[in-house]
Amino acid sequence: MANGSVKRNSPPCWRPRHRAAAIMTIHPTAIVENGAQLGDDVDIGPYCIVGANVSIGDGSRLHSHVTIAGRTSIGPGAIIHPFVSLGGPPQHLGYKGEDTALQIGANVIIREHTTMNIGTADGGGVTRIGDNGMFMTGAHVAHDCVVADNVIFANNATLGGHVRIAENVFIGGMAAIHQHCRIGANAFVGGCAAVSGDVIPFGSAFGNHARLMGLNIIGLKRRGLSRKAIHELRAGYRMLFEGEGAFRERLPAVRDAFGENVDVAAILDFIEEDGARSIMGPAR
């Protein structure tokens, strides 16, 4: 049951549990189903629909025409723009109505026409979105994806199912990430890229199909890495991808040479995890 003070008469399907200090506002045209959990100071705009199994954190705002369904939880401070659809069933023929979920963190900004689906039973059952993300117009997060904190999706960026996006990643407009791919921390995916392999941490991927074009140097500088740290990271990258012998055979040598560098070690750890997709390599 939602709680808090409301600026209008509640519809028959919704009743405040108690009066709180913060003011909750629900537009008269909005529908909030019985059972929904609304935090303090939540603002529900015109023609929004909030399902019975939805919880929305304190201070969140739904502008208008937002639909939130399924077992969806949203952290505090979310700003959700018109015609967003959250918690809909996965676009997967194997889904048979199982009780799965969508979990969204705090302080996310979700722009118009973005869609995020609940998980599937076979995929772990939960689609997860971290804190402080920005999802621009038309972005899509498919079933069972895990998106970490501080991630930005530009317009119409799309994830297939089971994708893993680490923290501080930027995905360019119209980019599409194939199902089961991994994108490492601090990576950059260029606009219109078609990504069918794992992108290493700090990597920069462009093209259709996308290839690794080096490191995300601009992103590294913006995050305050020193000149020395960037120099060592570039040296480790060159040894890993441009050295002699087979790619996998070079891993021990790179770890011996740069293992004390935490950023190079993060790349090596990512590669050695052996995800479902191959590691994306540089263009030749």
Q: For residue 226, give every residue at least 6 positions away whose Cβ sits within 8 Å of its Cβ, in sequence order, or none.
A: none
Buried b (16+ CB within 10 A) or exposed e, 159-188: bbbbbbbbbbbbbbbbbbbbbbbbbbbbbb
Which one of the listed residues 63, 65, 143, 162 is annotated catalytic?
143
Cα 46 to Cα 62: distance, rounded to the nearest angstrom: 9
Which one of the listed residues 161, 197, 203, 236 is annotated catalytic?
161
Q: Which helix (H) or strand (E) element contains residue 218?
A: helix 217-222
Which pair of structure tokens corresponds to residue 65?
Answer: 């025409």
Q: Which helix (H) or strand (E) element contains residue 183?
A: strand 182-183
Told to judge if 97 belongs to the known catalytic residues of this protein, a careful annotator would answer no
| Residue 179 Cα distances to 24, 37, 159, angstroms | 39, 32, 7
Told to judge if 77 belongs to the known catalytic residues of this protein, a careful annotator would answer no
Q: Which residue, 135, 126, 77, 76, is CA-closest to 102?
A: 126
Which pair of structure tokens corresponds to residue 118?
Answer: 């609940």
User: Contact 134/120 with Cβ under 8 angstroms?
Assistant: no
Cα 146 to Cα 116: distance, rounded to the nearest angstrom: 11
Which pair of structure tokens corresponds to residue 103?
Answer: 């979990």
- Taken in order 25, 29, 31, 34, is the CA torsion positive or negative? positive
Which one of the listed residues 41, 43, 58, 144 is annotated catalytic?
144
Told to judge if 122 belongs to the known catalytic residues of this protein, a careful annotator would answer no
Buried b (16+ CB within 10 A) or exposed e, 216-229: beebbeeeebeeee
Catalytic residues: 143-144, 161
